[in-house]
Every structure is written in C-alpha cells, then in structure tokens.
Structure 1
Amino acid sequence: MDLPEAPAPAASSGPYRVLARKYRPQTFAELIGQDAMVKTLGNAIARDRLAHAFLMTGVRGVGKTSTARLIAKALNCIGPDGQGGPTIDPCGVCEPCRAITEGRHIDVIEMDAASNTGVDDVREIIEAVRYAAVSARYKIYIIDEVHMLSRNAFNALLKTLEEPPPHVKFLFATTEVNKVPVTVLSRCQRFDLRRITPDMLFAHFSAILQKEGVEAEAPAIWLIANAAEGSVRDGLSILDQAIAHADLESGEGGGGKIGADQVRAMLGLSDRTAITQLMATVLGGDSGGAIDLVRAQYALGIEPVAMVRGLMDLTHAVTLAKVSRHDDPALAAGDRERIGDWAQKLGFAPLNRLWQLLLKGHDEVLRANNPLEHLEMLLLRVIYAASLPDPGELAKLLESGSLPTMPRAPRAPASVQDGPSDSAAVPIDAEAGTEPPATALTVAQIHQLLETTGNHRLAVQVYDHLRIIELDPGNIVFAAVPALGGSFARDLGDTLLTQTGSRWHVRPGEGEARPSLGEIRAARVADNGERIRELPVVKAALAAFPDAKLVEDDDNRHKSQS
C-alpha cells in the first residue's frame, strides 16, 4: 500500500540564546566604543611589542571579558591556511579561533577569581606556567574579577606576573580596579574601557532588532539605550525583555512591535506626560493638584521614588536647556517645547533650589516606610519654599520696615506672569540679581527687628551670644551656648515667622561659628582703645591722672549697635 511520504522533521534550531550571548563580539570590529584600545592593540601586534600582562577595567557590560577572549584569539590565530601569525583581525575559522570561541581551547584557561580567591588557586597557575603551550602559540590565563583575589594570592602571583615565561600571557578583567594592589597594576598594561554612549547603543540595538525581525519605535529604543547606563549587556537584557513583552502583547510567537509606552511601563518609569503635568502644578504652586496627580500615578503602580526621579530628570533637562545643551531624542515635540519655555522663564537660582530640594527628598523617599506620604510632604515643601523671600528681598523689607505680618501666597516672577496661561503661574522666584547680604549685616538686621518690635530679651541674646554657623534664607544654624537657653531657637523662629511671614528653621549645630555682634563690637572697641591710648595727648593725660579710664560715649555705643 502506497502511503503518503511523511514530511521531514524540521531542523531544530537548538535552545534559545539570550541576545547578550548571541551577539557577543567575535572580532575587534564588532567591539563598539573602544576604538582607542583596539588601535593600541593593533599597533602593538603589528610591531611585535606585546605586553606580558593586560588589565581591562570598566563598568559592567562594556566588553572586558569579550576583549580578553579577542586578545587570546588575536595572539593564537594561525589563519585559514595555518601559516598566519598574531593579528588584530583573527580569521575566526582556524582551529585555535574556533576552540577559543567555543571555550574549549586547552591553552586558554579562564578563571573566575570570585570563586578561586586563595593562594592555593594561584599556586596551581604558578606551577603550570613553567610548561609550554600544548597546541597554541601562547598559553593564556584569563582571570575575571581579579580584584576578588586575596592579598596573599596577589603576593604569590607578583613574581610570576613580573617575569613570566615568554609563552605565557595574563589577561585580567575587573570592575573595581581600585581594589587591585598597585604592585599588580604596575606590572600590567592597563586599558580603561569606556561607557558606551546612548547614540552608539541606539545604533547597535537598532541593528540587532533588524536582524531579529522585530519592529520598534525610535523613542522605545532610546529609552532602552538610556536605561542601559553605558552597558551593552544591560541594554541587551532589557531589549530581550522588551521583545518578549512585545510578543506577548501581540498574541503571536514573534514579530511584535515595541512601543515607548510599553517600555516605560516595563521599566517602571513614570509617564513623562504625567511628570510634566506634575512639574507644572509644582511650579504653579497648586498643592492640591500636585497631591491629586501623585495619588493618581501611585494608583497606576508608579513608585513614588520613580516620580521623584522623573522630576529630577525634568529639572536637569530644563537647566541644560538654559545653556543649549539639552538633546533627548526620546522626548515628544510638546515636551521639548515646554522644557524650552521653562528654560526661558526660570533662572539658575530657582532651578538650583528646586534641584537641591528634590535631591534631598529623593533619599528620604527611597528610605521611607511610607514613600507616598514622604513624596506628598516633599512636594508641599518644594511649593512652600518657593514663597520664601531671598536674602536680598528680606534685607530690603527689613530696611524699609514693610514686613508682612501674614504668610504670603506663592507668587510668580514678573517675567513669568506675562507668559502664556498654561505655564504662567510659576512661583519659584527668578534670579534676584542682587548679592546676598553679609552674615553680620543680616544678623544686625534681625537684631534691629527684635528691638523695633519690643522683644528686648531676644534682641540682647542675639546681640551678645548668637554665633552663626550657617545663615541661609529660612535657615539659621548657631553655636549652642548656655547663655541662650533651651527655648531660644523656638522663640526666635516663632518671632521671625510672625514678623516676616516666612518660616525660619532655627537650630543649634556644630562647626566653625562666627563671633556674635557683641563680640565683634568688643573687639572693635578694644582695638580703638589701644590706638587712642597711643595718642600723645592721651598719654599725657593718663600720666597726669593715673586713675583716669577711657569710657565709650553712650551715644556712640548706640550708633554702633544700630
């Protein structure tokens, strides 16, 4: 009976290999971002000036171990005809090249220092280097994460590392070169592998996606390139995850399209549009709107610390835009326009203030037991700090005597109030254009304020005993002395709040303190007294009346205080 011919079984493609392994560079031409190192190695091989030990250092995923394997292939390649010598372009088809690529060459020994840290492990290497290579031109030892070796192991390796046999080469790789002893570093030719720039990663990932037959939006690839932080391996791992996510979303076994929103959600990044809206509410002084936006994002699964990072990234982008150095291809046209608008209307001083507040708040939110509450308090702190007068404005108010008695509502600088309605309410003050007053002048003005309002007890304490360590807008740190008493900080803070309409944080601290107004005056009086005593007429008067004393005139004393 004639039966239909059974179809031949499809050839198995083997187990899936992740992109980081599948696209590991096999030649120096495929090693991206390390042109200086490749040129140095090429010249050294061409001139037969090869070092006996190489050290590759750099952040994770920039190609340290891959470079070590490429050097091993370059030194042991014999060419397709078996007659070649060391070359910067190994053929990849000869037996040594294929064996090294597959990790089975008997003369290329890879060792993980993290699991072989002791002196006994190094002693095995010292014993083995005496014997020539079995089949290769050089016997090569590749030691990964070499900084994990113990101090005794490093010491045991030193002599062999300095004067190895001519048939032995050492290739070290490490992410923490500062932990490698200087005695080892001095015996190696060191290569610092640089981080891979986002544009290089974008081009590399785009080429890989084309080979894999996967479509992706350009902003999605930029997001992955930025998230990689200069590491090819990290970026390929994220790309692998994004491809799997795209396949799942499309409901097919392959061919899914990677979108920017999808990558952002996968990485747990806050929505850029929502962050832009949050920034607008913060700059506009809308505390209720800011809280509502934060809670809406939190309900969608966005972590509070991710929202803080988003605000920091946006603040950084606006600051760079002010100096024409901001260029983020992942930004939409609308976001780019808004950043440019903020860059024109906000000065460097308020942007720096906003950055410092967010930077400090980031650590607080990261360590908090309830991050959402800390984020809400952080935003309220940022909005409230925008209404504090700067030192120059406070000095003018004190001089004119027109201090407000109630807290002021957040206000926008004049340059912003004239702008478009959707971004006009920006209470963070533009640069005042005046230098902050000297510390002594500011303390003197505070003393005058206390005297004017009839708070003589505090005025005397400020004049005689207040030694300033730090004096910033809304912040006073002073040296604690018994004469001030335990309630001084609270009393002074409450009084300044009542008289200036702004909250001042007054607290004792440690550090170098400036003398008080009274001490400055006493030193000045003592200096004046010494100079007066040297006058001939005064010397004659004191000689004629030995019991006479120099006394400062009360009117002059009051003038000096004021």
Structure 2
Amino acid sequence: MAGKKPPKPPEEGPEDPDTGVTAEPRDTLTASMFGDDPKPAAGPAAYQVLARKYRPTRFEDLVGQEAMVRTLANAFKTGRIAHAFMLTGVRGVGKTTTARLLARALNYESKDVHGPSMQLDPPGIHCAAIMASQHPDVLELDAASNTGIDNMRDLLSGSRYAPVNARYKVYIIDEVHMLSTAAFNALLKTLEEPPPHVKFIFATTEIRKVPVTVLSRCQRFNLQRFSTEQLTQHLANICKLEGAKVSPEALALIARAAEGSARDGLSILDQAIVQGDSKEVSGEQVRDMLGLADRSRVLDLMDRIISGDHKAALEEATSLLEQGADAPVLIKDLMDVVVEISRAQALKEAYAFAGPPDWAKRTQAMGEQMSPALSARMWRMLLQGFEDCARAPDPPAAAEMVVLRLAAAASLPSPEDAARMLAGGAAVPSPKEKEAPKSRPEPRAESAPEPTPQARQPAQSSGSPSTARTLPVASAPIPDETPHHGVKLSSLRQIVAELDARREISLKYEIERYVRPAEISWGHFNYTAAPGAPNNLSQRIKDWLEEVSGVEWEVLQSNDGGPESVQERRRRVGDEKLSSAAALPKIAEALRLFPGSRVLRVDDAEQPDDLDEGLAAPNVIHVDFGHRERTEEEIPDPEEHEDDD
C-alpha cells in the first residue's frame, strides 16, 4: 500500500473571463469517455410574445370588464363569495387570465393580509406559483383534451382532501363546453355541494353548449368584447412600453382586424413591429400584411357600385384584388360600409363614425344617394357573396361577380317602383332617390272599352275638362305578358285557375270553401261568406288580386245570401250523381239484393277517340257491397238470381 501512488486529482476547469469564477473540476476519465464538455448556448434570451408579456397581473389592468370587477369586489368585501364561477366570452378577452387572477384573490396571503382580497399588489406568497400554473392547490384542466368521465373522476378524487398550503383548492376548467355528458353528470353532485375548501372556475367560448344544470350552479360573468377604440388605445400604450413606432392608422387597422380580441390584436401588433424593422409601421404595411384593402378605395368602390357603373366598379375591384386584397376580406369591408350607410340613414344628424371625418362625410353622402331598401338588399347580397367567396374555387372571381351583382341591383328600380311601372300608373323614379310612399292606381272610368291590365284613370268631367290630369307614363316599354302583373281576372273560375297555377294552395282552398260569389268582374269582387270563414279573408283576397293584376280592387262582403260556393256545388253535383246512379234499374236491383250496400262514387269515363259520333262512354259506378268495392261489371245479373230462386 505504501508503494501505491495516489490518484491524480481532476483537472480544474477554466476560469470565466467575464465573472472570474472557476468552473467545476473536469474529470479526465469521464471526458475521455464522453468527449469534451458541451459549450453553453450563445445568443439572446428567449423572446416572450406581447400577449404573454403584457398579460394583466391585477384586476385593475383588465380592460373593458368594469362590471365584472365591481361585482367581484363587492362579493369579496361582503364575504358573499360563490363556490363556482362561469366566465364566458369570445376568444382573447381574458377568460383564463381572469380565472388565474380570481384564484390568486381567493388564496391571497401576505404579511399584512390573511384573507381573500382583490388587491393583488404587492403579490402574495402564492401569486407567482399560481400565475405560472405551478401551484399544487390550483389545478388547471383543458377540457378540450380531457373530455371523458375518467379525467373528471381523477380531477375530483382529490377534492375531499384539504389544500396543501393555500386557503382554497381551486379547479380551473378551460373550454368546459367540451366535456362529455357523462363528465358533466359526474361533476354535478360535487358542484352542487362542494367541500368548503373547494372553488370551481369555468371558462368557455360556447356558453350554449354548457348544460343548464351546470349553469344554474354557477355565478356567470360575460366578458365583454373590446371596442375598436379601447383596443386601439390599449395597443398604443403597449407600443409606448415597447418603444415601438406604429402609426395611428396602423393601430386602427390592427384593432379592426382583431375583432374585439386583445390577444389577436397583440399577436398582429407583434408581427407588425417586425415588419417595421425598427422604423415606424405604416398603415400600408399593415394592409399588405393582412391582405386588407385601403378604406378610402373601398369607399371609391362603393361609390361606383351605387352609381351603377359596372365597368368602373369591376375595374376598381380588380385593382384592389391584384394589389393583394383578400377576396373575402374585401367583401367584408363592403359589408362594413353598407352597415355604416344604414346607420347614417337611420340616425341622420346623430350619426357618429369612428374614423377620419372625410370618411364620415362620404358615408353620409352615400346614404343620401340610396334608399334604405337598397341598403338592405345590398347587405343580403353581400352576406351571400361572402359565403360564395369562401366556397368558390376562385375567390377573386367570385368577389368580382358579387360587385357586378351589386352594381346591377343599384341600377334597377325597387320592387315597388317596378310594380308601378308595369301597372303604367306613374313614372319610375331613379333608384338613387329616396323611396316614395306606395300609391295605388286610381280607378278607371266605367265606360272604358275592353279593359286592359293597367291602372284605371279618373274619368274627365264634361263640365271641367281642364281639371283632369293624366299621370306620366314610363318611358320603358311595358311587356305584353308578365308572369306576376297585368293578369285579367273577371270570373271566379279564372281566379281559382290563377291561384292553382301560382300554387297558392291556402287561399285557393279558402275561396273554394267559403266564397259564395255574388258579382265578380274586373276590379270588383262581391261575395257572401259561408259559415266559418276567416275574418281576414276579404283583405287577403284584395291583396292578392291587386298583386297579380296591378290595379285596385273593390272587395265587398254582403249578407244577401249569394249562390253556393265551389265546394258546396261540388258536393251537390256529387250527391246528384250518386242519386242518379242509384236510380238506374240494374244498380237499384243490386242494392236490393245486397242489403247495406251503397253507391260510393261515380267516375266520369274518358271519351275514347274511336267512339262513334253522338255516343257517350258510360260512367263507371263504384258500389260498396259491405266488404269491398265492385264496379258495375261485377254486379250479378238479377235474372240469374231469379232462376236460382
């Protein structure tokens, strides 16, 4: 042992030139086996995105949620803290952040505060671990990936045990609507009567998918969507903290694209700051980044659409699409313009536009050029066009077709104006003019020969011919036949046939059943109502007749006792046929031979082409012999029965 040399000590590591600290001793045996020691990673620290970096850490930092904060503050102040909370709202409004803040408030504890508190500044002893999702008594579950009953059982199995070192054991379940029905049922009992040390906080974007039995056991808070102004100001404050230069126009575009979501807005701002490359981010850069169209050019496009200039509107839309505007986004921008136009038309002087003053003036001017009805039609067309762009194999082409349809709609008269034009009662106003109140054509003179489906003019008086005034006739040619207007109806048979052709089944049935016609001619419909007729039958008949004929009708209901209705006549004729058939000798003998038998119906036989002139095909008579129907051919011959007797 004395002759053995001691083992060689491990070599000392190199000294760090920056800190002067000697590194750990280096084992040469291990080094020879596994190679040289790995070098530390070089480069800057990991970047934290703005949405996480500026996540609110106090209730005072929550933007636009004043009502919820006030309610919670009063609950904490009075000690009326619920055992379950339901946070709902669209994406990115702070549901998960609010849940963690609430968990911190429930378990807040500091040197001076030893109870639940909404004042989280300075942070308590549990705050850092809760915000980092590392606290043993605050359990977070993503219901989107843990939907089954087994996951819920595992989560609730520990609810009977007291918290490790906090005041409450808090369960935060995000996207709770994704839980299965069995998981919800497993949660109900614990949620209804939880242990005193357990609190539940749920968050969801689909509140309608959460069972009512769960909602009734929770205190619900609807987190509000950020307004464009609130989000713009919030983004501007963060830009100051980051030292980033972003133009007000770019911030407004980002806020609009975020659609009320703070997280989406911060993510877009993060990308926009990189686009700026240490320079001021302009609105043009944000539009290029998001595929947006210039708002002023969208207004130019709407101007061309309203004027009905197909060529100019198509060229403007094509130019915007070629410069990078996304087709569905362009349609959505047009929808926003139509909404602003409609608001300007409804609010008039009280209208306020959240944008540059020149945009507000242009929007109001367009609202004066078009009618509210045209605005509503354009909105419906754009809504359908947006869906078409999403489904179309070529979205830009679909967007161009939507623009052409809008321009065509703007150049056409309204349905009311078209009806008056077809009736020939008045000149068709321009679609840019405001909608005039609907006026009916005046009645025409009784002596007018061969009435035509036009509005009747007032007859001139022989005493003062100069006082008669004729209405201007539309310059457009009136078509000879139209599918919906100008139909000449002068008898009940024609009216019923027209109703049948137009598939107006309900009104046709009521007219056939309840109308006993007294006098029906062009423009006049007098009748007696059968028992049980609806109270609004006269008005329905009048509206329909005026719609299909284009002229005013006089519909009168009298009590003079007119003839029978169509159905009453059919029943009478049918009964007469049955009586006549039963009186035939052969049928009468058959009815006598078979007691209880009766004539069911009589079918008029079709006249064959080869039937001799002057002859008529016999009717088919159906007789019920008590067990099945038999035709006349199956009726036994009475003479054969006499032989049997």
TM-score by length of 2: 0.63
Q: Describe how 1:23-102 pairs up with structure 2 within 5 A.
A: 23-79=54-110, 81=111, 83-102=113-132
Change over 3 Å in CA distance of 1:242–1:362 after alignment to 2 = same
With 256-265 and 18-27 compared, the bigger mean Cα shift is at: 256-265
Change over 3 Å in CA distance of 1:344–1:398 after alignment to 2 = closer
Q: Return the alpha-carbon distance in structure 2 between the equivalents of residues 352 and 213 of structure 1.
A: 45
Count how many residue pairs are aligned between Structure 1 and Structure 2.
Answer: 454
1:336 matched to 2:336 = no
Change over 3 Å in CA distance of 1:240–1:460 after alignment to 2 = same
Identify the match of residue 52 of structure 2 among 4, 8, 21.
21
1:309 matched to 2:332 = yes
1:370 matched to 2:394 = yes
Q: Return the alpha-carbon distance in structure 1 between the equivalents of residues 124 and 191 of structure 2.
A: 29
Whether the 8 Å CA contact 2:272–2:281 is kept in 1: the answer is yes
Residue 24 of structure 1: CA displacement? 0.8
> Deviation per CA, 1:230-282, whole angstroms, max 9, x where unpaired?
111111111111111112xxxxxxx3312112112211111223222222222
Q: Return the alpha-carbon distance in structure 2 between the equivalents of residues 529 and 129 of structure 1.
A: 80
Task: Output the amino acid matched with 1:302.
Answer: A
Task: Output the amino acid matched with 1:369.
Answer: P
Q: Describe how 1:64-463 pairs up with structure 2 within 5 A.
A: 64-79=95-110, 81=111, 83-247=113-277, 255-322=278-345, 323=347, 324=349, 326-331=351-356, 333-398=357-422, 400=424, 413=430, 428-435=431-438, 448=453, 459=487
Q: Point out where structure 2 has 5 or more consecutive residues left out of the alignment.
A: 1-15, 21-40, 445-450, 456-477, 506-539, 565-645
Residue 315 of structure 1: CA displacement? 1.9
Q: Return the alpha-carbon distance in structure 1 between the equivalents of residues 220 and 328 of structure 2.
A: 38
Residue 156 of structure 1: CA displacement? 1.1
Q: Point out where structure 1 has 5 or more consecutive residues left out of the alignment.
A: 248-254, 405-410, 414-427, 469-476, 482-513, 535-562
Residue 375 of structure 1: CA displacement? 3.1
Residue 478 of structure 1: CA displacement? 3.9
Where 2:226 maps in the other structure, the secondary structure is: coil
2:497 alignment counterpart: 465
Whether the 8 Å CA contact 1:220–1:259 is kept in 2: the answer is yes
Task: Output the amino acid matched with 1:448.
Answer: P
1:552 alignment counterpart: none
Task: Output the amino acid matched with 1:364.
Answer: D
Residue 371 of structure 1: CA displacement? 3.0
Task: Output the amino acid matched with 1:285.
Answer: G
Change over 3 Å in CA distance of 1:158–1:286 after alignment to 2 = same
Q: Between Structure 1 and Structure 2, whose CA radius of gyration is higher?
A: 2
> Deviation per CA, 1:71-113, whole angstroms, max 9, x where unpaired?
111111111x265321111235332112112221111111111
Where 2:561 maps in the other structure, the secondary structure is: helix
Residue 395 of structure 1: CA displacement? 4.9
Residue 530 of structure 1: CA displacement? 5.1
2:528 alignment counterpart: none
> Deviation per CA, 1:502-540, whole angstroms, max 9, x where unpaired?
xxxxxxxxxxxx76759x99xx99966953579xxxxxx
For CA contacts below 8 A with separation 6 or more, give which structure has more relative contact order.
Answer: 1
Whether the 8 Å CA contact 1:147–1:180 is kept in 2: the answer is yes
Q: Return the alpha-carbon distance in structure 1 between the equivalents of residues 404 and 61 of structure 2.
A: 51
Residue 378 of structure 1: CA displacement? 2.8
Q: Return the alpha-carbon distance in structure 1 between the equivalents of residues 353 and 487 of structure 2.
A: 54
Where 2:126 maps in the other structure, the secondary structure is: helix
Task: Output the amino acid matched with 1:431.
Answer: K
CA RMSD of aligned residues (A): 3.8
Whether the 8 Å CA contact 2:424–2:454 is kept in 1: the answer is no
Residue 135 of structure 1: CA displacement? 0.6
Percent identity of equivalent pairs: 42
Q: Return the alpha-carbon distance in structure 2 between the equivalents of residues 195 and 290 of structure 1.
A: 35
2:460 alignment counterpart: none
Q: Return the alpha-carbon distance in structure 2 between the equivalents of residues 113 and 301 of structure 1.
A: 39
> Deviation per CA, 1:482-520, whole angstroms, max 9, x where unpaired?
xxxxxxxxxxxxxxxxxxxxxxxxxxxxxxxx76759x9
With 174-183 and 92-101 compared, the bigger mean Cα shift is at: 92-101
> Deviation per CA, 1:184-210, whole angstroms, max 9, x where unpaired?
111111111111222221221111000
Whether the 8 Å CA contact 2:306–2:370 is kept in 1: the answer is no
Residue 391 of structure 1: CA displacement? 4.7
With 156-165 and 309-318 compared, the bigger mean Cα shift is at: 309-318
Where 1:210 maps in the other structure, the secondary structure is: helix
Whether the 8 Å CA contact 1:119–1:156 is kept in 2: the answer is yes
Greater helix percent: which structure?
1
Change over 3 Å in CA distance of 1:220–1:448 after alignment to 2 = same
Change over 3 Å in CA distance of 1:293–1:96 after alignment to 2 = same
TM-score by length of 1: 0.72
Q: Return the alpha-carbon distance in structure 2 between the equivalents of residues 466 and 61 of structure 1.
A: 58
Change over 3 Å in CA distance of 1:12–1:210 after alignment to 2 = farther
Q: Return the alpha-carbon distance in structure 2 between the equivalents of residues 234 and 467 of structure 1.
A: 56
Q: Return the alpha-carbon distance in structure 1 between the equivalents of residues 140 and 353 of structure 2.
A: 41
